Structure 1
Amino acid sequence: MRVIKTPGRLKGDDDYLNRLLSYFQSQFYEKIIQLAPIRKSVFLLRTENHTYIIKGYHSDNRLKLQEAFTATLRKEGFLKTYMFLTNPMKEPLFFEGTYYGCIEYIPPHKDAFSFQTQRNRQEGLDLVKQFHKTTASVESRYRTLLPNGQLIEKWSERLRVFSGNLPYITYFLDEYMISDLMTWANWSLAGMIKKRRFFQKEPNVILHGDVAHHNFLRDRKGQLNLIDFDLISIGPPSFDYLQYANRILPNIGWSLGKLGSLKPLGKYLEEEAFLYALAFPADIFREWNRLIREKAYTDPAKIRQVMDLTVNQFDLRKNFFSQLQEKVK
């Protein structure tokens, strides 16, 4: 059996992986031939006959919630995702303070899913809509288990943190950029608060909470799957669609027209609350706040990534904001 190491991994990490591999081998019925890190607390595990994804959780309750939720999805007919497995193991996995779940491995398609094509963007939206339709019927069962999605409060806090980080950020961004970002954010939040009734009247569903391209997985047969439900919460479908729109706008040149050509986003562009929300620079604030929280501002590569996100399409974003202002007049 072997651990596949990644470049630059610290020796201490390798020691942990070797201990983890030894523990997994004691708990799986089949001989393990490979353990490869994918990202933090997520591993690819191969046995002589099968492949699994192993994912770590900080508490047993979080793991059980994920197991229950994915089982509920499948029971309700949403089959375009993975399921948790118990049969490969002798007992539940717990190692050095982390609870591990064993997840069905979905062999990926040779072409990874991305938001670069109109077909993929629409297919992803269709899958999110199907997910919402399924979770609308089970949302009441999870009300005591999941947090409520509080988008206005979340973004207000993100703006507050960004504002507090300005003494660092001003070393990297021009003053006019910072001024525009703050203008967009304040205009957006003020409008969302004024029009919040729209979000309150939408029927609640269970939100995915992270509709980034890496959480859509096309399998070998071509079926698109939705994965990774760590950030599920209860709220209006528009919260997921806002995040989806924010993710795809860079791929469509920040075009309001192209955004409106996608169903069901087109109907949301008739709602002022949604238009106000589209102006919030959530991605830029998120990445700057993370950079400073992790004290990564001395890392040239990470600085370059965040600068590229902020600067490369800044003029397109500014024009997009002007269009939004015109639509809500």
Structure 2
Amino acid sequence: MKAVNSMVNNKGDDDYFNRLLSYFRSQFMEKIIQMVPIRKSVLFLKTENNTYIMKGYHSNSRLRLQEAFTRTLYNEGFKKTYKFLAPTVREQLFFEGTYFGCIEYIPPNRTSFSFHTEKNRQEGLELLEKFHETTSSFEARYRTLLPKGDMLGKWSERFNIFSSNLPFVKYFFNEPFISEMLSWAEWSLAGMKKDHFFFKNEPFVILHGDVAHHNFLRDRNGTLLLIDFDLISIGPASYDYLQYANRILPYLEWSYDKLHQYEPIKNYLHEKAFLYALAYPADIFREWNRIIREKSYTDHLKLKQVMDLTISQFYTRKKFIDRLKVLVD
């Protein structure tokens, strides 16, 4: 019999995963031969006959919603994602306050997806557009089940948290960077508030909500898939495209002109509300709020990554935002 692998970071993790492994062994009708944690509440699980991704949810309703949504996606024609499976278990999987769903394991390509290449950036955007086209046909069925996207509210809250974190942030970098970033955010939020009707009048879809590179998966055959729908909500497609633009702009050297290469982002570049939103430093605020919340600034690698994000492209980003201000004004 093969030994069960469990990758752990400390004794607390070790104890939890040993208990979880024991629980899964008691519930699965198949013999478990390998279990490897991927991240919090997500595990790779291999049995004698199958391979799964086990994903934990805080409520049974959240798990059932994810199962229903991925099934609807598939039935409506969007098949470039994963399916939830029904393994042979004795009862619903519930362990120490967490409900576990079982997702098919998709062997990844040897080359992981990233936004470094033009091919990947274009292909990821095309897949996201197809996702929106599909969800537009059934978003009405999910209006009572999903929250309504509120980018202005979300970014206003993120700005307030970052502002309250300034005493910590100032230990790591100072003027003129801080004042400039705060001014970008204030200008952006004020403009979005002034032109908010654009977002309200745009047709609604189901938004993915987290179009980071790790939520695009290229399978062994080279097919690109969209995964992880934990942050889905109802709203205008432009919300996802704004986030996508923010993710790829560092690889475009913050070039406004290069953004015109990307459909459908190009279609929004004449809209003032969209241009205002492009100026918001969502990535910088997100990462500083996270590193302070998790107190991970003592991790030199993580701190370096956030500092690079903040400082290394500061002047190219500033030039980009100055261009947006000219276009809007």
TM-score of the superposed pair, with normalisation by structure 1: 0.97
Give unpaired runs (5+ residues) of structure 1. Answer: none
Q: Distance in 2 between matches of 1:324 and 1:42?
A: 40
Letter in 1 for 2:162: F
Deviates most, 26-35 or 56-65: 26-35
1:115–1:121 CA contact under 8 A, matched in 2: yes
Query: Which residue number corresponds to residue 320 of structure 1?
Result: 320
Partner SS state of residue 149, structure 1: coil
Whether the 8 Å CA contact 1:211–1:244 is kept in 2: the answer is yes
- 1:1-329 aligned within 5 A: 2-6=3-7, 9-329=9-329
Where in structure 2 are there 5+ consecutive unaligned residues? Answer: none
Partner-residue secondary structure (3-state), 1:21:
helix
How many residues were matched structurally? 328
Q: Does the aligned pair in 2 maintain the 1:66–1:229 contact within 8 Å?
A: yes
* Contact 2:87/2:102 (8 A) holds in 1: no
Whole-angstrom CA distance in 1 between matches of 2:300 and 2:222: 38
Q: Root-mean-square deviation (CA), in Å?
A: 1.2
- Corresponding letter in the other structure for 1:32: I
How far the C-alpha of 1:89 sits from its partner, in A, is 2.6
Q: Say if 1:3 and 1:17, in contact at 8 Å, map to a contact too.
A: no
**Deviation at residue 150 of structure 1 after TM alignment:** 0.4
What are the superposed Cα offsets for residues 141-167 of structure 1, whole Å, 9 maximum, x if unpaired?
Answer: 111111110000110111111111111
CA contact (8 A) 1:2 1:35 kept: no
Distance 1:297 1:112, change over 3 A: closer
C-alpha displacement of 1:223: 1.1
Give 1:28 deviation, angstroms.
Answer: 1.6
Q: Supply the distance in 2 between the matched residues of 1:141 and 1:106 (Cα, whole angstroms).
A: 29
SS at match of 1:297: helix
Find the aligned partners of 2:143 and 2:127 in 1 and give their Cα distance: 23
Aligned structure 1 segments of 4 or more residues deviating by more than 3 angstroms: none
Q: CA deviation at 1:177?
A: 0.1
Contact 1:25 1:31 in 2 (8 A): yes
Q: What's the CA shift for 1:2?
A: 4.0
CA distance in 1, matches of 2:140, 2:153: 23
Question: What CA distance in whole angstroms lies between the structure 2 residues aligned with 1:225 and 1:273?
Answer: 30
Sequence identity of aligned pairs in percent? Answer: 65
